[in-house]
Amino acid sequence: MKVYISSTLRFFFGRKAEIDVQIPNPTVSSVLRKLTEEFPEAAGGLFDNSELRTFIRIFVSGEDWTDRSFHDREIDESAQVLILPLIAGGSADESIISDERRKAQVLDGDEIERFSKHLLLREIGVPGQKRIKAARVVIAGLGALGSQVAQILAAAGVGTIRIIDFDSVALSNLQNQLLFGIRDVKRPKVASVRDRIRAVNRNITVIEEKVKIDADNAVSLIEDADLVIDCTDNYKTRYLLNDAAVIAGIPLVFGAIYQFEGLVSVLNHDGGPCLRCLFPAPPAPGLMPTCAENGTISSLPGVIGSIQANEALKLIIGIGSRLSGKLLRMDLLNLTSEVLNVGRNKDCPFCGEKSSRVRVEDFDYDEFCGLRQEDTEIPVETISPEELTRRIDNNEPLTIVDVREPHERTILRFSGAVVIPIGQLERRKKELNPEIDTVIICKEGKRSILAVRTLKEAGYLGPVYSLKGGLDSMKDIILSGEGGWI
């Protein structure tokens, strides 16, 4: 039996994309047990106190078998099992744009020429193009996915596009955020995207929102839109958008990317699930590396962003099969793709039958996404980049442990660090000297916090610190006598 491992989990499984599991009368429970016996580090990634973590789903030949009621059901040996964490179909029905709004639109001579390739399509024609012109779309996040979606929807003629992002363009963005150029570096992303949209079509109304989405503004930012396209890059904002879309009654086109793999779904539409139905809770901070920490190939956001834009256009026009109730997974490295059936959870706290949620402000998103430290949580002491530099320069006794992935260390190396992947820390804690200070380093300082807690929960008694801000905070620091440290 073939078990396919999503790229976000492969560092628990020896970087393997697929594993051949040979056991008699296989079930989900026995397959997972076999996997964790062969790969002990995977147990912490898949389970929390023997319960499957809430951000992980199990599919058997495309069907969702995540619920425990399926776990002891025998699996046909020819079936394919997919283990899929959060990265972050349906039949055609009516357009999300009313006939009244469609009829209120007029296409002038220039627009008829501009959109002639749409008008020639029987499924779109003049009525469909008028619906596109009448549409009000929110694009949340203007990174790799958002910049791709914005270009396509602008070229398609969407009448009103609200763009939301609080960040500015960085040089590192230019690799996979193809809407930006070198002149955009350090400019607000909303300003750069606005200019590119208007360069494509000056008739489009562009609404700029240079803000960070939070519980206070999430609903107001989207409530007058026809649909929301989630192109964000963090769990808190994804759940905020999901909950705001449920409350406002607006469909949400979800997209996520990681390394070579992407996900797309249409949520909160036509009786389909919301994000909480698919993934009731996000992973703990640091447990799953982000695309910022592990990168993405330049072509991936173009593919996934184009599919998001395509789903949005189908919703607006009212054509085709939708990804409502389905989750599309694509792996560009291995050239595989599959559409997985996902259902609505009737007990979902936000869209379920008994849900009483009427606002997002009454939900503690920091606690939910693991961003707030509880009193009962093991405290983590940090060390500043300046203090670490001083101690290294003074040759003070110190053990530095690098928990990053191998490819990250080829880009940025820390001389003298002991390399211990985060999944091996517990069983390798005896390699550390509890008589001297240990400093854990990673890229951004998130995985190192999880690593410190992992060591302490495993009973390690020596002093251990997390490098505040990670190696990103030390890029401009030069150690004496070395002329640099990478």
pLDDT at residue 436, as a whole number: 94
First-residue to last-residue Cα distance in the chain:
44
Instruction: Find all residues with CB under 8 Å of 409, minimum gap 6, and list them.
Output: 402, 419
Per-residue pLDDT band at 306 (split at 50, 70, 90) = very high
Cα dihedral across residues 303, 150, 264, 231: positive or negative: positive
* Per-residue DSSP letter, 378: P
What's the pLDDT tens digit per position in 179-198?
889 999 999 999 999 999 99
Q: Is-contact 158 120, C-beta < 8 A?
A: no
> What's CA 30's distance to the chain center, in Å?
29
Judge whether 20 lies within some domain: yes
Which has the closest alpha carbon to 443: 390, 404, 387? 404
Judge whether 123 lies within some domain: no
pLDDT at residue 286, as a whole number: 56
pLDDT at residue 424, as a whole number: 84
Does the pLDDT at position 245 exceed 60? yes
- Do residue 320 and residue 189 come from a single domain? yes
Q: Mark which of 368, 392, 424 sits at the end of a domain.
A: 368
Judge whether 285 lies within some domain: yes
Q: Is-contact 405 8, C-beta < 8 A?
A: no
pLDDT at residue 462, as a whole number: 92
What's the pLDDT tens digit per position in 131-162?
999 999 999 999 999 999 999 999 999 999 99
pTM: 0.70
Structure tokens at 386: 């300046």
Can you tell me the mean pLDDT for 315-321?
93
What's the pLDDT tens digit per position in 320-362?
889 999 999 999 999 999 999 888 888 887 787 776 666 676 5
Query: How far is 469 from 472, CA to CA, in rounded Å?
Result: 6
Structure tokens at 363: 């939900």
Judge whether 111 lies within some domain: no
- Do residue 392 and residue 357 come from a single domain? no
Does the pLDDT at position 89 exceed 50? no
Q: Is-contact 264 84, C-beta < 8 A?
A: no
What's the pLDDT tens digit per position in 30-42?
999 899 888 887 8
- Do residue 139 and residue 270 come from a single domain? yes
Query: How far is 124 from 110, CA to CA, in rounded Å?
Result: 18
Which has the closest alpha carbon to 190: 161, 215, 218? 161
Judge whether 94 lies within some domain: no
- Do residue 159 and residue 256 come from a single domain? yes
Q: What domain range is 418 assigned to?
A: 382-474
Catalytic residue positions, numbered: 291, 442
Amino acid identity of residue 310, one-letter, is N
Report the share of the chain in percent with pLDDT over 90: 46
- Do residue 68 and residue 193 come from a single domain? no
Amino acid identity of residue 413, one-letter, is R
- Do residue 242 and residue 360 come from a single domain? yes
3-state secondary structure at position 65? coil
Which domain CATH number covers 49? 3.10.20.30
Which domain CATH number covers 402? 3.40.250.10
Does the pLDDT at position 250 exceed 70? yes
pLDDT at residue 375, as a whole number: 46
- Do residue 361 and residue 390 come from a single domain? no
- Do residue 393 and residue 425 come from a single domain? yes
Judge whether 307 lies within some domain: yes
pLDDT at residue 294, as a whole number: 59
- Do residue 296 and residue 215 come from a single domain? yes
Report the share of the chain in percent with pLDDT over 70: 89
- Do residue 242 and residue 139 come from a single domain? yes
Beta-carbon count within 10 A of 266 CB: 27
Which is higher by pLDDT, 362 or 273?
A: 273
- Do residue 425 and residue 360 come from a single domain? no
Query: How far is 60 from 84, CA to CA, in rounded Å?
Result: 11
Per-residue pLDDT band at 284 (split at 50, 70, 90) = low
Mean pLDDT of the chain: 85
Domain count, the chain: 3
Burial class from Cβ neighbours inside 10 Å (0-12, 13-18, 19+) for residue 354 reads exposed
Judge whether 312 lies within some domain: yes
Can you tell me the mean pLDDT for 267-277?
89
- Do residue 286 and residue 327 come from a single domain? yes
Judge whether 391 lies within some domain: yes
Exposure string of 211-231, with b = 16+ CB inside 10 Å and e = fewer, is eebebebbbebbeebbbbbbb
Q: What are the backbone angles phi and psi of residue 287, rounded to the nearest 5°? A: -70, -40
Does the pLDDT at position 91 exceed 60? no
Give the least confident one: 58-72, 230-244, 286-300, 426-440. 286-300
Which is higher by pLDDT, 7 or 392?
A: 392
Query: How far is 144 from 312, CA to CA, in rounded Å?
Result: 17
pLDDT at residue 421, as a whole number: 83
3-state secondary structure at position 16? coil
Residue 301's H or E segment, with its range, is helix 299-317
Q: Is-contact 214 361, C-beta < 8 A?
A: no
